[in-house]
Structure 1
Amino acid sequence: MTSTTLLGPALGPVGRTVGREVRAGVHWGVAHGLPTLLLRRAADRGDLQARLIRVGALGTDEVFDLVEEIRAHGPLYRSRIGYVATSHAAVRELLTSDDFRTGFPTDEGPIGRVARWAAPTTLHPVEPPSLLVTEPPDHTRYRKLVTRVFTMRAVERLRERTEEIAAGLLDGLERRADGPVDLVEAYCAVLPVTVIAEILGVPEDERGRVLDFGSAAAPSLDLGLGFRRYRTVAQALARFDAWLGDHLDRLRRDPGDNLLSQLVAVREDGQGLSENELKATAGLVLAAGFETTVNLLGNGIALLHDHPGERARVVADPTLWPNVVEEALRLDPPVLLTARMAARDTELAGRPVGAGSMVTAILGGANRDPEVFEDPLRFDVARANARDHIAFSAGRHHCLGAQLARMEGEVGLRAIWERFPDLRLDPGARRRETRILRGFETLPATLRP
């Protein structure tokens, strides 16, 4: 029990509110404000890693030019703030090595104690016990239980329902086919969040709330949020946390035919997931599953639009649709980068890396490594080794929802291009201003020019 909890009754409602605001300000400062300040200073001095993260927030393709500039320095670049891995081999080594773990140097020492004190008490996808940031032995037990439910067979059972959802959304778009439509708002966002609502067993009349939760909470996965955006995200996650507690109680009383009901019931050696672990898993499914699939669909639509020759190859051979998804993930991944911290003195790509050092893995760089992918900047829907990308990370933190995202991407891309083969993207497309995630904020289109 924390001192804040003990003092809560004595402080009264106003005091508790002030306390929450102070903690929020401190957490934002440690998690977003301080890193942003350090990155800005390093970028002003010409540091390539800092410039990459700054340019990434603009959502332009200039980010890939910087990736290639960093690659020219070798598989592991030493920056003012850490290391950057760009080669396929170095990124995979980093993500699979036991010498590196999730977390930041600020997790340790006095700053770490302050960060833990200020961390949100409600669920958050990048705070424990989220699978994104837990490590063995907790991660091993936790993931084993979750993996028993999120199987490939379970995902395939969702395929038919996903096809029905996509068809229903496209039926609605038929009525607007002659005018402009924002594909992100009307299709790319609605398809995955509807699937997520089915996974979570959300009643029909509450699915609008889940869409709102997903849209508001998705930026929680990113770095460098402004304080106002941070507060909006935190409030959305707190609302979702409260709603989820009631929802889990309903599922315990009346379980349904959905994956979250199965997750509530799953046991290993008589032990199941705790309430916080169940909430964290549901929150991760919502935030990570929503944002990454929205980005995959938008990026894939844009790539197919901009490469009519490749689109014609898929029309001629529809068996290529699964590979279209892999090639879109490779060339324009929904997650641009991730990071690990050295748990001990070690080596990476043949170079020494000291304990506590941060190493950023540029997934978008590994996926364009000319040592692995021939003519890596070319969009090739029949690329034989497209699936060798690392868009879903690797090792123990390989994306739990990778198969679900692949299935939704295949269904969603195929359905819209078969229904609207003459779809035209209009001027005004805008990328998300995010540093870690990469996708479209808006994607204006005319479905039947």
Structure 2
Amino acid sequence: MSSQPDTSLARRATRPARSWATWALAHGIGKAFLTVGARRGDPLARLMADPSLNADPFAAYERVRAAGPIVKTKLMSGTASHAAANQVLRSADFGVGSGHGELPPLSRRVLSRIVDPDALGPMDPPSLLAVDPPDHARYRRLVSREFTARSVAALEPRIVEVAESLLDRVAGDAATSFDLVDAYASQLPVAVIADLLGVPEQWQDDILAWGNDAALLLDPSLSWRDYRVAEVAVRRLNAWFDDHIAHLRADPGTDLLSRLATMSGDEQLDDRELRGVGLLVLGAGFETTVNLIGNAVVQLDAHPDQLAVVRERPELWPHAIEEVLRFDSPVQMTLRSAYADVDVGGHVVSSGEPVVLFLGGANRDPDVFDDPHHFDVTRENANEHLAFSSGIHYCLGAGLARLEGAVAVRTLYERFPDLRVASPPTRRSTRVLRGYESIPVSAGVSRALRVA
């Protein structure tokens, strides 16, 4: 298989008029309404569009939850209740609305016709995030066997190998300080997902950069400038996957994408579907994990008593990761559209009505978690969080993210026991994904060496 895919498709004319129309319908109009609503004090719009809440939205989540299981404003409905969010996520009467459930059905149909096939992103069909049954069941069945508990457990030696190799590189540098995200948190999951997708090593940095930019499309109200950045990135990813899939069909390996590319009969996927699977696996196995590792280090640094507990009892590392997922969820919100009139917590959600589920708020619901604003690595029911969603759209890569997070953070602190966050980290501007662009850390004066 060639290791130099031809990304000429990314250089194809981007049809600016179509791009602008797609942005306006999928993001621009909603952004305008959310911005106005936030300025007028709409509590749901503020959580989605007010930059002052980006760093700390939790008090605002509390106010939404206190207002009832379902809060309806002039713009939308939403919930920060664990019970209500869990019911919506598990109900067959709610769906993803072709990835844009916030839009009226007519707008969705128009959007599906004008979106450029070369610019399909994570919220466009055939992505698993944007389809309901029966298509969802078909795609998930083909991919999920790579993410069973047994398959994920088998990846642990490879994850340890990657973690130790990355830390060897850091330890070999003269400086005792480094950017945790750039040098470690982003590199580890990309290497693991590259194995699943058959991505040659020389392309991993490009995939990382394009994936970071394309992830902006998960946010519901992108500016035109950010949309253009994301669109260019997703075009490059689509172009790369198209060429990569062609090579895999001709010379398959043992990876997931090779297996899917060479299927025949009823299970055969066309190139567009394979590209969608590739983008989904990249997002499911990468974005959440990068944020999880970074958020874990920031929280453990801010709670040295809890770091001391998990160091003394290393069997608690998986528990610590569950508590990070609950306390500082890498995915803060998602959306579902009602397909029928549904009673949720005594409030009737009408057919066609979109509901924003604030997962970050649900994960601090005192009805489920005692003292929910306390970070506790020994919390027994931390795994009842909704950080990976619930129901049929439960995150495909949840088990892998958990394992990578536990291995990555444990190995990091074993190698650098004096590790500290050296200066305030830079938070990502995204509202759906919660994490950091940069986390400057210091390895401390006693930079531990790897034990043979």
Taking structure 1 as the reference length, the TM-score comes to 0.92
Match in the other structure for 2:215:
218
What is the Cα deviation at residue 17 of structure 1?
Answer: 4.1
CA distance in 1, matches of 2:68, 2:227: 36
Residue 74 of structure 1 corresponds to 68
Paired residue total: 430
Are the structure 2 counterparts of residues 150 and 274 from structure 1 closer, same or farther at C-alpha, using a change threshold of 3 Å? Answer: farther
State how 1:137-216 maps to structure 2 within 5 Å.
137-176=134-173, 178-216=175-213
Q: Alignment partner of 2:267: what SS? A: coil
Counterpart in the other structure of 2:81:
87
Shift of the alpha carbon at 1:435?
Answer: 1.4
Could you give the per-residue CA deviations for residues 283-328 of structure 1, whole angstroms, max 9, x where no partner exists? Answer: 1122343221111010001111111111111111111111111110
The one-letter code matched in structure 2 to 1:68 is: E
1:231 matched to which residue of 2? 228
SS in structure 1 opposite 2:336? strand
Which one of 370, 377, 391 corresponds to residue 381 of structure 1? 377
- Matched to 1:287, the amino acid is G
The match for 2:338 is 342
Q: Does 1:33 align with 2:23?
A: no
Deviation at 1:196, TM superposition (A): 1.3
Deviates more, 1:278-287 or 1:207-216: 207-216
- CA distance in 2: counterparts of 1:112 and 1:301, whole angstroms: 40
> Partner of 1:415 in structure 2?
411
Alignment of 1:244-263 (within 5 A): 244-263=241-260
Deviations 1:332-380 (A, max 9, x none): 0000010111112221111111111111111111111111111111111
Q: Find the counterpart in structure 1 of residue 327 from structure 2.
A: 331
Encode CA deviations 1:1-23: one digit per residue, 9 max, x unaligned: xxxxxxxxxxxxxxx948x2111
C-alpha distance in 1 between matches for 2:53 and 2:61: 15
Q: Is the 8 A contact 2:46 2:53 kept in 1?
A: no
- Report the alpha carbon displacement of residue 437 of structure 1 after superposing the two structures with TM: 1.0
- Give the Cα separation in 2 of the matches to 1:171 and 1:58: 38
Structure 2 counterpart SS, 1:51: helix
- Partner amino acid, structure 1, of 2:151: A
Structure 1 residue 56: Cα displacement: 5.8
Give 3-state SS (helix, strand or coil) of 1:132's partner. helix
Aligned residue number for residue 64 of structure 1: 58
Is 1:428 aligned to 2:424, yes or no? Answer: yes
- Contact between 1:56 and 1:435, CA under 8 Å: does it hold in 2? no
Q: What one-letter code is carried by the residue in structure 1 that aligns with 2:67?
A: H
- Structure 1 position 446 matched with structure 2 position 442: yes
2:310 and 2:13 mapped to 1: Cα distance?
A: 56
1:100 paired with 2:94, answer: yes
Structure 2 residue matching 1:149: 3-state secondary structure? helix
Provide the aligned C-alpha RMSD in A: 1.8
Match for residue 43 of structure 1 among 38, 46, 54: 38
- SS of corresponding position for 1:106: coil
Partner amino acid for 1:96? R
Instruction: Give the conservation status (yes or no) of the 8 Å contact 1:188–1:294.
Output: yes
| Structure 1 position 54, deviation (Å) | 2.1
Give, in whole Å, the separation in 1 of the partners of 2:402 and 2:52. Answer: 26
**Could you tell me which amino acid in structure 1 is paired with residue 68 of structure 2?**
G
* Equivalent pair of 1:124/1:220 in contact (CA under 8 Å): yes
Instruction: Provide closer, same or farther for how the CA distance between residues 208 and 57 of structure 1 changes in structure 2, counting only shifts above 3 A.
Output: farther
Q: What's the CA shift for 1:36?
A: 0.7
What is the TM-score with the length of structure 2 in the denominator? 0.91
Q: Does 1:21 align with 2:16?
A: yes
Q: What is the identity percentage for the equivalent residue pairs of Structure 1 and Structure 2?
A: 46
SS of 1:125's partner is coil
Report which stretch shifted further, 205-214 or 383-392.
205-214
Structure 2 CA distance for partners of 1:246 and 1:107, relative to 1, 3 Å: farther
Asked whether the equivalents of residues 129 and 280 of structure 1 are also in contact (C-alpha less than 8 Å), the reply is: yes
Q: Which moved more, 1:130-139 or 1:254-263?
A: 254-263
CA distance in 2, matches of 1:89, 1:333: 17
Give the aligned residue type for 2:167: L
Secondary structure of residue in 2 paired with 1:181 = strand
State whether residues 31 and 223 of structure 2, in contact with CA within 8 Å, keep that contact through their aligned partners in structure 1. Answer: no
Q: Which residue of structure 2 lines up, in the alignment, with residue 8 of structure 1?
A: none
**Structure 2: distance between partners of 1:360 and 1:113:** 21
Shift of 1:124: 1.2
Per-residue deviation, residues 392-429 of structure 1 (Å, max 9, x unmatched): 00111111111111111111111111111111112231
In the alignment, is the contact (CA less than 8 A) between 2:78 and 2:356 conserved in 1? Answer: yes
Query: Which of 118, 122, 125 is the equivalent residue of 2:114?
Result: 118
Retained in 1: the 8 A contact 2:145–2:151?
A: no
Q: 1:301 is matched with which residue: 297, 304, 307?
A: 297
Alpha-carbon offset, residue 274 of structure 1: 2.5
8 Å Cα contact 2:147-2:399 kept in structure 1: no
Distance 2:316 2:272 in 1: 41
Structure 1 residues 152 and 262 mapped into 2: Cα distance closer, same or farther (>3 Å)? farther
Q: Which moved more, 1:190-199 or 1:294-303?
A: 190-199
Secondary structure of 1:230's aligned partner: helix
In structure 2, the residue corresponding to 1:136 is in which secondary structure? Answer: coil
Measure how far apart 1:58 and its partner are: 5.5
Say whether the 8 Å CA contact 1:58–1:432 is kept in structure 2. Answer: no
Farther-moved stretch of structure 1 (125-134 vs 171-180): 171-180
Residue type at the aligned position of 1:39: L
**For the residues of structure 2 that align with 1:113 and 1:351, how far apart are their CA atoms?**
29
Aligned partner of residue 117 in structure 2, secondary structure: coil
Distance 1:214 1:57, change over 3 A: farther
